[in-house]
């Protein structure tokens, strides 16, 4: 068994414990410290870290598969599995000095990343001074660093840059009171007039095009991969996993559930059989679509061929379509699971709220993703500011 498959298997074996902790994570509005430690012990967080810094330097496919397993147990845990693993890969895109600083003590870090340009950066001698406040800081409750996007004025032009900042230099605001994904602890991040040295920032354009400073440090194709397609596709993995988890619970529930008044077992009803079969087919198709898109991205980069705009937009299209499919399947199965599935202790209602919440993420917006692919695929200008 290859090492990537071993990590997937370890996360799969951990899944029952993650499911047991889901209710406590929701109540605390953050993952238990034990969950972070257990996930780290599987090797997950270091999967995409360069070997020279102690990581495994594996591919995105195995990482997405592992995060899908975590998402099947608990959507919040699955989402932070992606966040922490992918953002370690992003550290590998920064200049070498920043990488050495972040991974000085262990071959992974715990880093949220806010890509909305909600801050400003003023050029100063040796770097920038950053000020701003960012929402949706998934993973900030266990963070040792943060990454935030800020706008820099360069020769009368606006340049978005990503900045890597120690956790001690930021303020976290407790605002994460939501209906779903509570366990992610996605609180606001504020930075007030903090100096960030030059080696801890990267222009967003370089990240989007796969030509970051890290791509010149590490020869592997992993570090030449454009940011947005990878973020979209790997982010969809735990959403799909959550739906797969609901299907597994629905299947188990059907085998013993007796319908009120009629006394029939749900598994004997054609309606239950149809829902089970349709959900199975829909999620299998979504998984094939996701795996195929990830494989296409990694194969192109491995061949030394940069992704064109159509291919990059297709990644957004696939990610959004997978999330839409997962949300529909979860809502249909939870509806068919009966009223008792809506008790707050039930994993059905938690998964339903989690998937409905995470589907609102900008990268999974179906209207935006479908329109983006439609415009680019039909030869139209996608516009000046697109997440692609």
What is the per-residue pLDDT for 154?
83
CATH number for the domain that contains residue 26: 1.10.540.10
What is the pLDDT, as a whole number, of residue 385? 65
Same domain, 235 and 374: yes
Q: Is residue 211 part of a domain?
A: no
The single-letter DSSP state of residue 337 is: T
Both 363 and 230 in a single domain?
Answer: yes
Within a domain: residue 212?
Answer: no
Helices 347-358 + 227-256 axis angle, to 10 = 160
Query: In this structure, are 295 and 169 located in the same domain?
Result: no
One domain, residues 239 and 321: yes
pLDDT of residue 267: 80
- Are residues 258 and 354 part of one domain? yes
Domain assignment of residue 27, given as a range? 3-103
Whether 246 and 134 share a structural domain: no
Which residues on neighbouring strands pair with residue 384, listed in sequence order? none
Residue 386 resides in a domain: no
Residues 296 and 369 reside in one and the same domain: yes
Q: Is there a single domain that holds both residue 260 and residue 359?
A: yes
Q: Which of 103, 129, 148 is the last residue of a domain?
A: 103
Q: Are strands 113-124 and 171-173 parallel, antiparallel or unpaired?
A: unpaired
HEC string of the chain?
Answer: CCHHHHHHHHHHHHHHHHHHHHHHHHHHCCCCHHHHHHHHHCCHHHCCCCHHHCCCCCCHHHHHHHHHHHHHHCHHHHHHHHHHHHHHHHHCCCCHHHHHHHCCCCCCCCCCEEEEEEEEEEEECCEEEEEEEEEEECCHHHCCEEEEEEEEEECCEEEEEEEEEEHHHCEEECCCCCCCCHHHCCEEEEEEEEEEEHHHEEEHHHHHHCCCHHHHHCCCHHHHCCHHHHHHHHHHHHHHHHHHHHHHHHHHHHHHCECCCCCCEHHHCHHHHHHHHHHHHHHHHHHHHHHHHHHHHHHHHHCCCCCCHHHHHHHHHHHHHHHHHHHHHHHHHHHHCCHHHHCCCCHHHHHHHHHHHHCCCHHHCHHHHHHHHHHHHCCCCCCCCCCC
- Give yes or no: residues 230 and 373 share one domain: yes
Threshold 0.95, pTM exceeds: yes
CB of 145 within 8 A of CB of 167?
A: yes
Pair 195, 242 in one domain: no
Judge contact between 256 and 299, C-beta under 8 A: no
Using the 3D structure, point to which of 74, 103, 132 is the last residue of a domain. Answer: 103
The Cα–Cα gap between 98 and 81 comes to 22
For the stretch 281-298, pLDDT in tens is 999 999 999 999 999 999
182 and 326 belong to one structural domain: no
The per-residue pLDDT for 258 is 72
Within-domain flag for 205: no
- Residue 266, domain member (yes or no): yes
List residues bridging with 133 in a β-sheet: 190
* Residue spans of the chain under pLDDT 50: none
Q: Is residue 384 part of a domain?
A: no
Decide if 387 is inside a domain: no
Torsional sign, CA 319, 322, 325, 331: negative
Q: Is residue 372 part of a domain?
A: yes
């Amino acid at each position: 068994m290859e090492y990537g498959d071993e990590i997937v298997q370890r996360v799969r074996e951990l899944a029952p414990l993650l499911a047991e902790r889901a209710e406590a994570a929701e109540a605390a509005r953050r993952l238990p410290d034990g969950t972070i430690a257990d996930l780290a012990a599987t090797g997950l967080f270091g999967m995409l870290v360069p070997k020279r810094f102690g990581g495994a330097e594996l591919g995105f496919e195995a990482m997405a598969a592992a995060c899908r397993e975590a998402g099947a147990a608990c959507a919040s845990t699955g989402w932070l599995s992606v966040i922490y693993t992918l953002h370690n890969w992003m550290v590998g895109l920064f200049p070498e000095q920043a990488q050495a600083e972040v991974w000085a003590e262990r071959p992974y870090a715990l880093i949220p990343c806010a890509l909305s340009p909600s801050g400003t950066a003023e050029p100063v001698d040796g770097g920038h001074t950053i000020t701003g406040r960012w929402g949706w800081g998934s993973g900030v409750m266990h963070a040792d660093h943060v990454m935030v996007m800020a706008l820099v004025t360069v020769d009368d032009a606006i340049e978005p840059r990503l900045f890597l900042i120690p956790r001690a230099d930021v303020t976290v605001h407790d605002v994460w009171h939501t209906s779903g994904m509570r366990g992610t602890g996605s609180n606001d991040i504020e930075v007030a007039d903090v100096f960030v040295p030059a080696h801890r920032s990267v222009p967003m354009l370089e990240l989007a095009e796969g030509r970051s400073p890290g791509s010149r440090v590490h020869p592997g194709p992993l570090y030449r991969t454009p940011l947005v397609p990878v973020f979209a596709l790997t982010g969809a993995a735990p959403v799909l996993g959550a739906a797969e988890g609901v299907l597994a619970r629905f299947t188990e529930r059907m085998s013993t559930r007796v319908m009120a008044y009629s006394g029939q077992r749900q598994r004997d009803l054609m309606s239950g059989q149809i829902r089970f079969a349709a959900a199975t087919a829909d999620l299998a198709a979504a998984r094939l679509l996701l795996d195929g898109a990830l494989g296409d991205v990694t194969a192109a980069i491995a061949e030394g061929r940069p992704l064109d705009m159509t291919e990059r937009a297709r990644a957004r299209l696939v990610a959004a379509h997978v999330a839409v499919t997962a949300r529909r399947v979860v809502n249909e199965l939870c509806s068919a699971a009966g009223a008792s599935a809506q008790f707050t202790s039930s994993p059905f209602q938690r998964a339903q709220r989690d998937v409905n919440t995470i589907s609102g993420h900008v990268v999974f917006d179906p209207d935006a993703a479908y329109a983006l692919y439609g415009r680019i695929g039909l030869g139209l200008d996608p516009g000046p500011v697109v997440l692609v």
